[in-house]
Amino acid sequence: MGQVVYLGLCLLAGLLLNTLVEGAGNDTVAARSSCPHGIFYYNKNCYEYFPEGLSWKEAEEECTTLRSDALLVFLSNPKEQKALLAHLKRKRNLQRIWIGLSAPPAAPTGQGLKWKWSNGVSYNPDNLSQDDDPTKCMSLSMSGYPQQKITECSDKLPYVCKYSSFFY
């Protein structure tokens, strides 16, 4: 009887070790995330998609209401953007989403827009006019080749909130 229990424990330990080793190099393995069920996980963050259309400001407020560390999605690097886009492309009829990029109206006249991500990091888009209206926000176009689009902040668009998976 003792040998059967020992053998069973060895098999269980082997299965657990195999699961950990297989998922070690993959940041998108759902079983390794601590995001709520059905929420996209990538590189220690949760990305929660909301299909209802809200203005940029409303979407930003909804994110912070969701969780204290949640922000309208900010893209830290090209790999993150690629992973998120691959996930969002599975959504049917998704044309554009809000991203956490805006030009606050505090930018002095004549100095161009001062774009900032929702996490406070400055951003200098390469292909945007420097005299654009400072009441604009940035959306991500999902049709064709995904690209950032200057959009009226009052437009009603779906959005994605980003938050750490550690504290869920």
For every one of its 168 residues, what pLDDT tens digit does the chain have, with 9 covering 90 and above?
555 445 444 444 443 333 333 333 334 444 456 888 889 999 999 999 999 999 999 999 999 999 989 999 998 888 998 899 888 888 877 889 999 988 876 555 445 667 888 888 888 766 555 455 556 788 988 876 777 888 889 999 999 999 998 754
37 and 18 housed in the same domain:
no
| Same domain as 87, residue 23 | no
Q: Do 43 and 77 have their domain in common?
A: yes
Whether the full predicted model's pTM is greater than 0.75, yes or no, is no
Which residues make beta-bridge pairs with 137? 102, 151
- 136 and 82 share one domain: yes
Helix (H, G, I), strand (E, B) or coil at 88: helix
Question: What is the spatial distance between Cα 101 and Cα 116, in angstroms, rounded to a whole number?
Answer: 6
**Do 93 and 142 sit in the same domain of this protein?**
yes
How many distinct structural domains can be found in the chain?
A: 2
Q: What is the pLDDT of residue 52?
A: 93
- Same domain (yes/no): 50, 130: yes
- 40 and 8: one domain? no
Domain shared by 1 and 83, yes or no: no
Q: Residues, the chain, total?
A: 168
SS3 per-residue string spanning 117-151 = ECCCCEECCCCCCCCCCCCEEEEEECCCCCEEEEE
Separation of alpha carbons 98 and 42, rounded Å: 19
Same domain, 77 and 3: no
Residue 141's pLDDT is what?
A: 85
| Element of type H or E holding 10 | helix 2-23
User: In terms of domains, do 5 and 63 share one?
Assistant: no
In whole angstroms, how large is the CA radius of gyration of the chain?
21
Domain range for 4: 1-27
Residues 47 and 14 in one domain: no
Could you tell me the CATH number of the domain that includes residue 128? 3.10.100.10
